Structure 1
Amino acid sequence: MAWGVISDMGSVTIRTSDIETSVRDAVGILGLTEVGRDGRSVHLAAVGDRAELTYVAAEEDGLERLGLVAPTLDGLHEVRRRIEHEGLPVLSTTPSQPGIEDAFTFLGPEGFAFEVVVRPGTGPAQPVGFGPKRYGHFNFHPQDHRRMVAFLTEVLDFRVSDVIGTGGSIGYFLRCSTEHHGIALVGGRGTLHHHAWETQSFVDLAKLGDRLHAHGRELLWAPVRHGAGQNLAAYYLEHSGNVVELYTDMEHIYDDDRPPVEWPDGKVWWNEWSTQSGFLPEGFRDHGLAPVAKH
């Protein structure tokens, strides 16, 4: 169920200083499939041929853009009207990848670039290998997270699922469909922290750890049952310095008017299984990528 101008999460585009290592990890560890290359870009997907993650070869690592999906062309045009009304610059009116019906990219608050797309059809429902089912959400750390949540709710029609900390002092979880969150934002340094992929079961989280071990790597944090969203999750660090999450069992909200769940300043919202300070790895929130888009 979707109620506004955004109905789903689109894709993530990351600049990487070692594109072949980034692609190798996305294929061999996360389980994505390479679906195309053009110029300096490599496109990857969980299922089908619709890119959900794109790496762009660059001298420095950074976040290029975050994708959002409009349900119709009319919805896309309404988003653009609102963006222009807000005085935010439009960076491009050309889709960044093949298979997109129409798109435009704009520069949002704090220099985060967003591409809004309309895409035809849907891919197959299940993966064919060990990889995830779909790209699900991203988590980022705006410097002014209250301004960002106001933008996402008032301009892009996201709804608040959970409020973290008294009066949102820590952050917010936002949805554009029934899934508990498509965007999570926690006040921070102005970076993308992680992109997240839905898998089929808790067993897949263990298998992710096995694959990392086989590559001489390790999980960054897992297993965990988040309070906000109720999802089970595992995390690892990718080459670019960004975090990747694999999750399952996410809460869905079918009442569009459900009041936000309010979590106190304690830590149960990020881990129902332990509130001990040491259970969140030291430096976990220090990882991430700064946006690189410029007007």
Structure 2
Amino acid sequence: MSDSSLITHLRHIDVAMPNFAEQHRFYTELWGLTETAGDTGVSFLAAEGSPEQYVVRLREDVQKRTDLIAFGAASAADVDTLAARLAARGVRLVHEPRALDTPGGGYGVRFFDNEGRVVEVSAEVTARRHRRIEAREPVPVRLSHVLMNSPTPEATVAWYIEHLGFRLSDTMCLGERGEIMWFLRCNTFHHSFGIVRGPHAAFHHASFEMRGIDEFLRGTGRMRRLGIERLWGPGRHRAGDNSFSYFLDRAGNTVEYTTELEILDEDTWHPHLFDLRDPANADQWGTADEMDEFIAAKSHNDVDPGLFTAPPM
């Protein structure tokens, strides 16, 4: 069995922060997610169009941190195979494969990546009863992708390719400054995960797929009318060919509305290198402000204090 067959899709991103009530209100009342389970200081938030039990988990903590990134596998046997493979290669496990006590249950393993982020891979999670998102309804259909900052991006990209079987879709560069962003896939979507060159390991952004361009623009407009801090967009990227509008949540994490992310043909696709000195590579439409150091610095985020530290749940 090849490494590439073991990870099937992105499940959820779990984050912690001190201002839990503000974050909860942002993601439910403003961003458009639905709480499906919760307790004091924790909330599991689903996207209405997704069968995943939740796509974001919020947890109250005195520190702001990324708790974990979760991916799916096809079967419990694949989880076991992956865990054995990782252990044999010296990857540090947070816990061995076991039954999960999060919504939907399932069977999963947790481990640290090369920079100390916690990654979970699970299978046999009960699908959530979801619904079709209607025309003009500006709420997320699913979690599209998650990107992370890294001070050693080449090593981190290589780690995810070697150990988890991700494939490189495209890379962004900035002239003589070299490569700065790598888009990785685990299925036919252009990317479900990615790494950005940054000053420290931290959350870069999470992106949420909308039903279509009209719903994407309506969601973008709603955020702007509500006074949510806008970083960049609306526009349309070259790599992935997806639309984008970036905002800051209440903890200073970057979140994105997107739609129409490219679906690749695995048999014919070859990675491209796009130079951001050509503004059309950042925004094909030319409708977004030009990307600058101020915008980039906002998504560098704070230093993550949770590296090589397992979250409490």
Question: Within the alignment, does 1:51 sit opposite 2:54 as a pair?
Answer: yes
Change (3 A) 1:46 1:291: farther
Question: Residues 61, 204 of structure 1: CA spacing in aligned structure 2 closer, same or farther, 3 A cutoff?
Answer: same
The separation in 2 between residues aligned to 1:73 and 1:264, in whole angstroms, is 41
CA deviations over 1:104-160 (Å, ceiling 9, x no partner): 211111111111111244643524764111011111111111111111111111111
Is the contact made by 1:17 and 1:58 (CA closer than 8 Å) also made in structure 2? yes
Q: What do the CA deviations read for 1:35-80 (whole angstroms, capped 9, x no partner)? A: 1113531100002570110000011211111111111112111221
The AA in structure 2 aligned to 1:109 is N
Aligned equivalents of 1:49, 1:173: Cα separation in 2: 23
Comparing 112-121 and 232-241, the one that deviates more = 112-121
Q: Could you tell me which of 209, 213, 217 is aligned with 1:202? A: 213
Residue matched to 1:270: 282
Is the counterpart of residue 131 in structure 1 residue 139 in structure 2?
yes
The answer to whether residue 156 in structure 2 is matched with residue 151 in structure 1 is: no
Partner of 1:80: 83
Aligned identity (percent) is 24
Distance 1:108 1:251 in 2: 27
TM norm structure 2: 0.85
Matched with 1:97 is 102
Q: What's the CA shift string for 1:197-236, capped at 9, x where partnerless?
A: 1001222233223322443324221111101000011111
Contact 1:178-1:254 within 8 A present in 2 as well: yes
RMSD (CA atoms): 2.5
Q: Report the counterpart of residue 197 of structure 2 in structure 1.
A: 187
The 1-side partners of 2:32 and 2:154 are apart by 35
* Contact preservation (8 Å) 2:191, 2:240: yes
Specify the SS of the correspondent of 1:170: strand
User: Which stretch shifts more, 199-208 or 263-272?
Assistant: 263-272
The offset of 1:29, in angstroms, is 1.8
| Cα distance in 2, alignment partners of residues 40 and 172 from structure 1 | 34
Greater CA drift, 260-269 or 189-198: 260-269
Indicate the larger mover: 203-212 or 239-248.
203-212
Distance of 1:205 and 1:282 partners within structure 2: 26
Q: TM-score, normalised by structure 1?
A: 0.90
Q: Report SS of the residue matched to 2:90.
A: coil
Q: What amino acid does structure 1 have at the position aligned with 2:308?
A: K
2:296 equivalent in structure 1? 285
**Equivalent pair of 2:181/2:195 in contact (CA under 8 Å):** yes
Q: Measure, in 2, the Cα distance between the counterparts of 1:255 and 1:125.
A: 29
Indicate the residue corresponding to 2:187 in structure 1.
177
The reply to whether residue 69 of structure 1 matches residue 72 of structure 2 is yes
**1:96, CA displacement in angstroms?**
5.9
- Could you tell me how far 1:30 is from its partner in structure 2? 1.4
SS of residue paired to 2:69:
strand
Secondary structure, counterpart of 1:196 in structure 2: strand
Larger deviation, residues 280-289 vs 68-77: 280-289
Give the Cα–Cα distance (whole angstroms) in 2 for the partners of residues 241 and 223 of structure 1. Answer: 19
User: Where do 5+ consecutive residues of structure 1 fail to align?
Assistant: none
Please tell me whether the aligned partners of residues 65 and 293 of structure 1 are also in contact (alpha carbons under 8 angstroms): no
Cα-to-partner distance string for 1:218-262 (whole Å, 9 max, x where unaligned)? 422111110100001111100111100110011100234522122
